[in-house]
């Protein structure tokens, strides 16, 4: 691969058929070797940009240059990546090592539907890296990954020598890997040097400097408008007093005075022309200055505390995991204000445990919000169709929450395929209207953009009802003050829930 290899997009525009507005407009950018971070709100077009780059989608206008031998590592885990079989059955040293390090078994293609999303994600990543592409477009790779897999991923990506584009909401990962970031806020797309933190700081500085320039240009424009009005008034007055009609032919003094004044009038005309020219220049400058709109974010979760003594009470038992593996758990209790997080490596059975637990919750069904780890693309479409038919007032309420979670309702409502992050926000908004006694969320921060993660954290801190979470996101769990309960894989591959409080219930 030549050392100066890079991918470039020229004047790229793209609009989905169903959308009211374009998603990408006239984008020209270079993507050099190394990683470019792709940043933006859920629904901002990150996945779309990656798919345009690798040739999965055709732009309406413009071109992509240099994206040969490009691989897209998908955000969705619904389906196995095309050609996975070749990787799973290949015994070259690269395939062997990648499979070993990422815990990928050769029967994963057959078992795809029952694999955990973490196992699927590891497999997608292993398969993408094994192809050693020149261009790697990797879409939210840390979703579902446990800490060990996340570190392996970072190590592997650090060794990547091609052109990489990475979509992620993982600040540390972006800072560690990226030499530049592209920030999508349709229709704007701006490139900044550095990782996420540097790009964010540069963006903020540029934004305030643009706001300042805009203000001073507007002040200047107002001043010119005022001066123009004054000069016009003045010119009109003197025009009236400068008529030569009614003057005696020989009144040369008066005629000379009027001629002098006419001369001044023409100077006045020149000044007015200059002012008009200046106004045009200012307007042109102002039109070029774009200040991204800032939407208010932050939500309130109207949870309520159940009057029951215990929301959940499970006697010590075990659950069947894939194959012959078993998950053993001790007595498990949840009180009305408990905040518990189940943690543990990929494949340890966290989702299996939670799915079992929710069937035993001691609360009316409408008081339990359960947000699964993933929704299939088809289920997402159905969900949106259902939301579209809600009465206006309710729809408005849901869309207000979506907006306060940092996604644009208009774009979502016109979408044929909501992005996974948009879908999560929809589910959360729908559940919130029910004043729940317990919220159960499987990997709440997956797919969510940073402003909505922060909004969710703040809402969870205030929310009085019980929380039962699964998460690999330590920062999130610290911030919402959840108590962790660990699932540990034993030497015989069974899983054991740590003995957290077998006797007395936790609060």
Ligand X SMILES: Nc1ncnc2c1ncn2[C@@H]1O[C@H](COP(=O)(O)OP(=O)(O)O)[C@@H](O)[C@H]1O
Q: Give the footprint of Mg ion on this chain (CB under 5 A).
A: 46-47, 75, 419
SS (H, E, C) 19-55: CCCCCEEEEEEEECCEEEEEEECCCCCHHHHHHHHCC
The distance of closest approach from Cβ of residue 218 to ligand X in the complex, given in angstroms and rounded to an integer, is 33
Residues that bind ligand X (CB under 6 A): 16, 18-19, 23, 40, 42-48, 411-412, 415-419, 421-422
Residue nearest to ligand X (CB): 415
Cα–Cα distance measured from residue 12 to residue 28, given in angstroms and rounded to the nearest whole number: 6
Q: From the list Mg ion, ligand X, none, pick the one residue 422 interacts with, judged by a Cβ distance below 5 to 8 Å according to partner type.
A: ligand X
SS (H, E, C) 151-187: HHHHHHHHHCCCEEEEECCCHHHHHHHEEEEEEEECC
Give 402's contacts (C-beta < 8 A, 6+ positions apart): 409, 412, 422, 425, 426, 429
Q: From the list ligand X, Mg ion, none, pick the one residue 48 interacts with, judged by a Cβ distance below 5 to 8 Å according to partner type.
A: ligand X
Q: Which is nearer to ligand X, 178 or 463 (CB)?
A: 178
The distance of closest approach from Cβ of residue 59 to ligand X in the complex, given in angstroms and rounded to an integer, is 13
The distance of closest approach from Cβ of residue 502 to Mg ion in the complex, given in angstroms and rounded to an integer, is 42
Retrieve residue 437's tokens. Answer: 């006694």
Q: Which is nearer to Mg ion, 75 or 343 (CB)?
A: 75
The distance of closest approach from Cβ of residue 46 to Mg ion in the complex, given in angstroms and rounded to an integer, is 5
Cα–Cα distance measured from residue 236 to residue 233, given in angstroms and rounded to the nearest whole number: 5
Residue nearest to Mg ion (CB): 47
Q: Which is nearer to ligand X, 371 or 440 (CB)?
A: 371
Q: From the list ligand X, Mg ion, none, pick the one residue 346 interacts with, judged by a Cβ distance below 5 to 8 Å according to partner type.
A: none
Q: Which is nearer to ligand X, 85 or 417 (CB)?
A: 417
Q: Which is nearer to ligand X, 46 or 437 (CB)?
A: 46
Q: From the list Mg ion, ligand X, none, pick the one residue 412 interacts with, judged by a Cβ distance below 5 to 8 Å according to partner type.
A: ligand X
The distance of closest approach from Cβ of residue 376 to ligand X in the complex, given in angstroms and rounded to an integer, is 14
Phi, psi of 488 (to 5 degrees): -115, 130
Cα–Cα distance measured from residue 381 to residue 448, given in angstroms and rounded to the nearest whole number: 18
The distance of closest approach from Cβ of residue 452 to ligand X in the complex, given in angstroms and rounded to an integer, is 11
Q: Which is nearer to Mg ion, 75 or 143 (CB)?
A: 75
Q: From the list Mg ion, ligand X, none, pick the one residue 415 interacts with, judged by a Cβ distance below 5 to 8 Å according to partner type.
A: ligand X
| Of 167, 161, 172, residue with least CA distance to 74 | 167
Q: Which is nearer to ligand X, 314 or 377 (CB)?
A: 377
Reported as type and span, the H/E element at residue 231 is: helix 196-240
The distance of closest approach from Cβ of residue 43 to ligand X in the complex, given in angstroms and rounded to an integer, is 3
Retrieve residue 236's tokens. Answer: 């009109």
Length of the chain: 507
Q: What is the DSSP string of 255-299?
A: HHHHHHHHHHHHHHHHHHHHHHHHHHHHHHHHHH-----------
Q: From the list ligand X, Mg ion, none, pick the one residue 418 interacts with, judged by a Cβ distance below 5 to 8 Å according to partner type.
A: ligand X
Cα–Cα distance measured from residue 496 to residue 484, given in angstroms and rounded to the nearest whole number: 14
Q: From the list ligand X, Mg ion, none, pick the one residue 73 interacts with, judged by a Cβ distance below 5 to 8 Å according to partner type.
A: none
The distance of closest approach from Cβ of residue 38 to Mg ion in the complex, given in angstroms and rounded to an integer, is 9
Cα–Cα distance measured from residue 423 to residue 443, given in angstroms and rounded to the nearest whole number: 14
Q: From the list Mg ion, ligand X, none, pick the one residue 437 interacts with, judged by a Cβ distance below 5 to 8 Å according to partner type.
A: none
Tokens 């219930």 correspond to: 505
Tokens 């590592």 correspond to: 73
Retrieve residue 223's tokens. Answer: 């001043």
Reported as type and span, the H/E element at residue 16 is: none
Q: Which is nearer to Mg ion, 16 or 332 (CB)?
A: 16
Q: Which is nearer to Mg ion, 166 or 341 (CB)?
A: 166
The distance of closest approach from Cβ of residue 470 to ligand X in the complex, given in angstroms and rounded to an integer, is 22
Q: From the list ligand X, Mg ion, none, pick the one residue 200 interacts with, judged by a Cβ distance below 5 to 8 Å according to partner type.
A: none
């Amino acid at each position: 691969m030549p050392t100066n290899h890079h991918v470039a997009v020229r004047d790229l525009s793209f609009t989905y058929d169903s959308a009211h507005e374009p998603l990408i407009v006239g984008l020209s950018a270079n993507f050099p070797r190394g990683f470019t971070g792709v940043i933006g709100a859920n629904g901002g077009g990150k996945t779309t940009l990656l798919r345009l780059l690798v040739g999965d989608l055709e732009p309406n206008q413009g071109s992509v240059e240099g994206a040969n031998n490009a691989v897209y590592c998908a955000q969705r885990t619904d389906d196995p990546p095309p050609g996975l079989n070749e990787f799973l059955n290949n015994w070259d040293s690269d395939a062997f090592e990648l499979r070993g390090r990422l815990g990928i078994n050769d029967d994963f293609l057959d078992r795809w539907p029952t694999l955990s999303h973490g196992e699927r994600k590891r497999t997608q990543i292993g398969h993408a890296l094994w192809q050693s592409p020149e261009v790697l477009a990797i879409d939210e790779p840390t979703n579902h990954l446990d800490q060990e897999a996340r570190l392996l991923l970072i190590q592997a990506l650090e060794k990547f020598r091609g052109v990489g584009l990475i979509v992620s909401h993982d600040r540390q990962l972006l800072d560690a890997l990226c030499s530049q970031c592209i920030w999508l806020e349709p229709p704007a797309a701006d490139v900044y040097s550095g990782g996420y933190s540097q790009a964010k700081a540069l963006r903020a500085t540029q934004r305030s400097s643009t706001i300042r320039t805009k203000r001073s240009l507007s002040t200047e424009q107002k001043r010119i408008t005022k001066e123009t009005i004054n000069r016009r008034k003045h010119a009109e007055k003197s025009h009236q007093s400068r008529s030569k009609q009614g003057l005696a032919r020989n009144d040369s003094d008066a005629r000379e005075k009027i001629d002098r004044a006419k001369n001044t009038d023409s100077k006045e005309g020149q000044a007015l022309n200059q002012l008009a020219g200046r106004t045009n220049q200012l307007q042109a400058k102002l039109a070029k200055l774009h200040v991204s709109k800032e939407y208010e974010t932050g939500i309130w979760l109207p949870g309520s505390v159940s009057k029951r003594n215990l929301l959940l009470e499970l006697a010590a038992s075990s659950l069947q995991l894939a194959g012959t593996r078993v998950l053993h758990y001790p007595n498990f209790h949840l009180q009305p204000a408990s905040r518990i997080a189940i943690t543990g490596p990929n494949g340890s059975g966290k989702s299996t445990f939670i799915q079992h637990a929710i069937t035993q919750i001691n609360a009316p069904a409408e008081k339990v919000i359960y947000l699964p780890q993933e929704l299939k693309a088809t289920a997402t479409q159905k969900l949106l169709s259902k939301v579209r038919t809600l009465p206006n007032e309710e729809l408005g309420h849901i869309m207000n929450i979506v907006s306060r979670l940092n996604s644009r309702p208009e774009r979502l409502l016109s979408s044929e395929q909501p992005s996974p992050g948009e879908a999560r926000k929809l589910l959360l908004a729908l559940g919130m209207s029910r004043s729940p006694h317990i919220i159960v969320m499987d990997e709440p921060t997956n797919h969510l953009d940073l402003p909505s993660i922060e909004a969710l954290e703040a809402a969870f801190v205030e929310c009085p009802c019980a929380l039962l979470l699964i998460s690999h996101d330590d920062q999130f769990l610290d911030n919402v003050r959840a108590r962790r309960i660990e699932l540990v894989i034993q030497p015989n591959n069974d899983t054991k829930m740590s003995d957290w409080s077998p006797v007395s219930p936790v609060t």
